[in-house]
Amino acid sequence: MIIIALTITVLILIALPVVAATCLRRRAWSSWLLFLVGVATFAGSQAVHIPLNNWLADIGLLPPAGSLEGPPLWRTALILGLTAGLCEELARAAGLALLRRRLPLQDALMLGLGHGGIEAMFVGGVALAGSMATLLALRAADWQTLGLPADVLAQITAQMANVEQPYSTLALATVERCIAMALHVTFSVMVWRAFERRNVGWLVLAIAYHTLADMVAVYAGQLLASRWLMELAFLAVALPGILWLWSQRHGLTGTTESRRRPTWRSQWPAVAASLRKELLQVVRTRHLLIAMALFLFVGISSPLLAYFTPLILSRIEEMKPFADLIPEPSAADAMVQYVKNLTQFLLPGVVLLGMGAVAAEKERGTAAMALSKPVPRWGFVLTKMAAQALLLTAGTLAAALCAYLYTLVLFEPLPLGPFALVNLLLWAWLLVYAAATLLGSTLGKSAGGAAGIAVGLCGALLLASYIPRVGPLAPGGLVAWASAIGPGLKGVAPLIEGVPFTNAAALGIAPVLVVLMLVGAVGALEAQEI
Amino acid sequence: MAEQSTPWAIRTEGLTKRYGDVLALDHLDLHVAPGSVFGFLGRNGAGKTTTMRLLAGLAHPTEGRAWIMGAEATDGDTDARRLFGYLPQNPAFYKWMTPIELLDYVGRAYGLAEDLRRRRIQEMLALVGLEEAAKRRIGGFSGGMMQRLGIAQALIHEPSVLLLDEPTSALDPAGRYEVLAMLAELRGRVTVFFSSHIIADVDRICDTIGVLHRGRLLQVTPREELLAQYAVNAVALTLDKGATAAGAELAALLSEQPWVADAAWDAHTLRVTVHDVAVAQRELLPLLAGQGVALQRLEWVRPSLEEIFLEMSA
């Protein structure tokens, strides 16, 4: 039940910024690319902010990361607030300056939603998922006997309080991210106003307000015992900004000109027609057949390879002296082989099947035909992703079923829970690559160019696994988790150096990456000429 | 933005499109009356297709706006696309589909109810003569069949405005004749905005003509008015075989008349240029009758649309 609540909360936190941006676009049109500019300003600000805070900690102006011990609290709160305000607001200003054109209010709001939205997705969604999942796993294990250092044990003990009250923790995290996102939108509008009125005072005000909000957050975390009171204090500091933001709503272009915007009801038939066409296309162009053949091959061959490989090796003359060293194959081996095969065979399949999705339609002229109808461009992209997702879901289910049955016949029944988790992780991994391929296909002007971009994006995602600290969060982290489940089948949970191994953060990042890549694809297609 | 009230089927205001340094369309201000068959003439590269793509929402204007039946077409409003049907210059469809499947897809995209959709599919297939090929894969279609299918998909939702970009360019003479006849039948019910560089096609069915040259709209005029505007004050007289001997003499006589600017004889035809058409129309025939000249033919010379177009876009 806790896992379901956690999953729902993470999905809400990931979806919230996108839903808010969609509602904004219904009211006053703004490009999704502005959302991505907001994402970039957040990423850019953190690239400076985190090293800056680490340096300030090194020279003693701030306490070490994760602690507030040492310097006076007022100074810590002020410096933390000021570095956040300076880094984030200057990054926002740089983003607006680089756009080099006069933007309407809705674009500033969109940028703010991107900036605050990605923070909600990462801090609220992914970090929450990661920490909660780890704590839940630790709760299941006897963590007092793991031989962890005393300070780590103390931190875990403190955080376990959150696990004991999971629903209020999740609700508060959602409320906090909503307030933070509203604040980010407010800051963005203030910085935008500095450009609009050519008055740097608005930028200074945004930095000051950001500093104040973060100071209150630090103080509240230290001085208030109740987490509800902490959020109330945070809301109190955010409220003036939110009210000011609300007072600006009349500045939205479109409100004054009563610009007509299509409604969901008017767009739905075209989107449904587009989805129906995509599904029909998957069947008629034999994509379904090819994909199912690949998935079934993986599902059937994995237990067979696990079962027969040791037998084959033991029959080889040169290997006979080592026959006793070859371990007896097991269901766990079948699962490990399944993870290996699926990742090796299906990744090229996903790229090959998806790389022409948009680019080939643009090249052949069918996109022009479809998009001169009431099919919205977002619908054109999202229905393609939906068809890909359904294809991958059907394929994963088919592969899983085959793998389960063959393992049952050759070895023993696989435990359903861990095996389902393995499949969920691999399905999420495939979805990320499907979204990357779709983004590449949208960015490319021709099918050939799109293939190059898609392969480049997928390569970058694969290589991201090797980046220190960030690597485990990359899609490869999902495969690492899935690979770790197999060997741990006979135990309670997969164990790495005595600590239960989970990578819920990578699972949380996967939908974030999918969402961002789809936002990019829709934004790019909307900006393109067909 | 929706216009409050408009008498125009298509209206553009300062519509401009620039590709880098190339000005493809230069502040196009256009008004097309509902129910008319509007011929949009221009040489290759004049900006006809750019205009069509801007109206269809496939390209983004650098400046300016456009409305179709009062709904803004240049701001990505998908609702505006219900008001028109569009046939691109090189129509492309999903090759794995059959015409029935394609028309069903398009009908669904326009939100047509099932009964209506089925009826319209049959009507459209009959209209464009693709009934026999209705269940064949589009992948095997000829250029002409694709063009017919393109017209069917553009008309399936009974739009108020039809945007046709070079609709006859891929058709054989018989196909062209049929398509033009079909478009002419739509006059009064549907506004047909029809771009072409085939002047004979425009001449045949269009009641209003717009001439685009290097991205600029040179003129928009009713066809008859355009022809009259470019009419030269000349009359060609073909003399009866027995009267040809008197041709040169007659030319000299006509040259002496105060309302004649010039008269020239070339073996069979006497070409008379006049100062004042009204006076000439009154005086010419009595003068010829007085000379006892037998005429085979008398024709006031009108330039062809082709000549006018070439002159305008020279």
Separation in Å, CA B214 to CA B28, B71, B210: 11, 27, 13
Give the CA distances from residue B159 to residues B80, B89, B181, B273, in Å, rounded to whole numbers and listed in that order. Answer: 11, 19, 18, 48
Residues B158 and B250 in one domain: no
Q: To 5 degrees, how large is the angle CA A166–CA A172–CA A174?
A: 105
Cα torsion for B158, B161, B167, B173, to the nearest 10°? 70
Quick check: is B1 in a domain? no
- pTM, two decimals, is 0.84
What is the per-residue burial (b if ≥16 Cβ within 10 Å, else e) of B2-32?
Answer: beeebebbbbbeebbbeeeeebbbbebebbb
Sheet hosting strand B269-274, strand order edge to edge:
B260-266, B269-274, B234-239, B295-300
Distance to chain B for A359, nearest Cα, Å: 14
Contact B79 A266 (CB under 8 A): yes
- Looking at the DSSP bridge assignments, the partners of residue B263 are B272
Report the residue of chain B nearest A253, measured CA to CA: B1
Measured on CA atoms in the order A112, A115, A119, A120, is the torsion positive or negative?
positive
Tell me which chain B residues have a C-beta less than 8 angstroms from the C-beta of A266: 78-79, 111
Alpha carbon distance, N-terminus to C-terminus of chain A: 47
Note whether B100 and B194 are same-domain residues.
yes
Query: Counting Cβ atoms within 10 Å, is residue B309 exposed (0-12), middle (13-18) or buried (19+)?
Result: buried
Asked if B105 lies within 8 A of A276 by C-beta distance, the reply is yes
pLDDT per residue, tens digit, chain A (530 aa), is 667 777 788 888 889 999 999 999 888 888 899 999 999 999 999 999 999 999 998 888 888 776 667 778 888 899 999 999 999 999 999 999 998 778 889 999 999 999 999 998 887 777 777 776 766 666 666 666 666 666 666 666 666 666 666 677 778 888 888 999 999 999 999 999 999 999 999 999 999 999 999 999 888 888 887 888 888 999 999 999 999 999 988 877 764 343 456 777 788 999 999 999 999 999 999 999 999 999 999 999 999 998 988 888 777 777 777 777 777 888 888 988 999 999 999 999 999 989 889 999 999 999 999 999 999 999 999 999 999 999 999 999 999 999 999 999 998 888 888 889 899 999 999 999 999 999 999 999 888 888 899 999 999 998 988 888 788 888 998 998 888 887 665 543 454 444 556 777 888 889 999 999 999 999 999 999 88
Report the run of H or E that residue A18 belongs to, with start and end.
Answer: helix A2-27
Inside any domain, residue B140? yes
Alpha-carbon separation of residue A295 from A307, A334, A349, A419, B243 (angstroms):
19, 15, 10, 16, 93
Query: In B, which residues are within 8 Å of A364 by CB distance?
Result: 92
Burial of A160 (0-12, 13-18, 19+ CB in 10 A): middle
| Residues in contact with B61: Cβ distance below 8 Å, sequence separation at least 6, in sequence order | B15, B16, B17, B54, B74
Q: Is B129 left (phi over 0), alpha (psi -120 to 50) or beta?
A: left
Cα–Cα distance for residue pair A237/A214, rounded to 1 Å: 9
Last residue of a domain, one of B221, B244, B277: B221
Nearest-by-Cβ selection for B1 from A260, A276, A285: A260
Q: Are residues B154 and B250 in the same domain?
A: no
Instruction: Work out the minimum CA distance from B131 to partner chain A, whole angstroms.
Output: 22
Query: CA A102 to CA A91: how far, in whole Å?
Result: 18
Residue type, B262: D
Same domain, B234 and B211: no
pLDDT (0 to 100) of residue A145:
64
From CA A143, how far away is CA B235, in angstroms rounded?
A: 109
Question: Do B22 and B165 share a domain, yes or no?
Answer: yes
Chain B residues inside the 8 Å CB shell of A267:
78
Task: Look up the domain containing B204 and give its range.
Answer: 10-221
CA proximity to A46, closest of A84, A97, A95, A92: A84
Contact in structure between B186 and B158 (CB atoms under 8 Å): no
**Looking at residue A194, what is its pLDDT?**
94
Same domain, B205 and B241: no
Give the Cα separation of B32 and A513 in Å (integer): 48
Say which of B77, B82, B90 has its CB closest to residue A260.
B77
> Which residue in the set A258, A285, A374 is minimally distant from B82, CB to CB?
A374
Residue B2 is predicted with a pLDDT of: 47
CATH number for the domain including B257?
3.30.70
* CB pair distance less than 8 Å for B58 and A529: yes
Pairwise CB contact (< 8 Å): A373 & B110 = yes
**Cβ contact, residue pair B81, A529, below 8 Å:** no
Q: Based on the domain organization, do B174 and B217 belong to the same domain?
A: yes
Q: How many CB pairs under 8 A join A and B?
A: 97
How far does the CA of residue B284 sit from the closest CA of chain A (Å)?
A: 57
Do B116 and B33 reside in the same domain of the chain?
yes
| Residues of chain B that touch chain A, judged by Cβ-Cβ distance less than 8 Å | 1-2, 53, 56-60, 71-72, 75-79, 81-82, 86, 88, 90-94, 96-97, 101, 105-106, 108-111, 153
Contact A285 B96 (CB under 8 A): yes
Rg over CA atoms, chain A: 26
Q: How many other C-beta atoms can be found within 10 angstroms of the C-beta atom of residue A471?
A: 15
Where does A341-411 show beta strands of DSSP type E?
none
Which CATH number do you get for residue B127?
3.40.50.300
Cα B92 to its chain centre, rounded Å, is 23
Q: How far apart are CA A474 and CA A237, in angstroms?
A: 35
Same structural domain, B172 and B252: no
Beta partners for residue B71, in sequence order: B68
The per-residue DSSP string of chain B comes to ---S--S-SEEEEEEEEEETTEEEEEEEEEEE-TT-EEEEEE-TTSSHHHHHHHHTTSS--SEEEEEETTEESSS--GGGGGGEEEE-SS----TTS-HHHHHHHHHHHTT--HHHHHHHHHHHHHHTT-STTTTS-GGG--HHHHHHHHHHHHHTT--SEEEEESTTTT--HHHHHHHHHHHHHTTTTSEEEEEES-HHHHHHH-SEEEEEETTEEEEEEEHHHHHHHT--SEEEEEEPGGGGGGHHHHHHHHHTSTTEEEEEEETTEEEEEES-HHHHHHHHHHHHHHTTPPEEEEEE----HHHHHHHHT-
Task: Locate B115 and state its tokens.
Answer: 């009964």
pLDDT single digits (tens) A460-475: 998 988 888 788 888 9
Question: Which chain A residues touch B if contact means CB-CB below 8 Å?
Answer: 29, 257-262, 266-267, 269-270, 272-274, 276-277, 280-281, 284-285, 364-366, 368-377, 526-527, 529-530
Mean pLDDT by 10 residues, chain B (314 residues): 65 93 92 91 87 92 91 79 90 94 96 95 92 93 89 93 88 82 85 86 86 88 76 80 78 89 83 84 86 83 70 69
Interface test with B, best of A372, A378, A384 (most B CBs within 10 A): A372
Which of these three, B201, B221, B241, is where a domain ends?
B221
Within this chain, do residues B154 and B202 fall inside the same structural domain, yes or no?
A: yes
- Cβ-defined contact of B94 to A281 (cutoff 8 Å): yes
Q: B92, A266: Cβ pair inside 8 Å?
A: no
Helices and strands (H, E) in chain A, number of each type: 19, 2
Structural domain contains residue B4 = no
A22 residue type, one letter = T
Indicate yes or no: CB of A273 within 8 angstroms of CB of B105.
Answer: yes
Residues 6+ apart with CB under 8 A from A29: A106, A254, A259, A261, B75, B76
Q: Is B212 found in the same domain as B84?
A: yes
Residue B5 is assigned to a structural domain of this protein: no
- Asked whether residue B171 falls in the same domain as residue B37, the answer is yes
Asked whether residue B2 is assigned to any structural domain, the reply reads no
How far does the CA of residue B190 sit from the closest CA of chain A (Å)?
18
As for how many domains chain B has, the answer is 2
Final residue belonging to a domain, choices B157, B191, B221: B221
Q: Cβ contact (<8 Å) for A257 and B1?
A: yes
* Residue A153: predicted pLDDT: 67
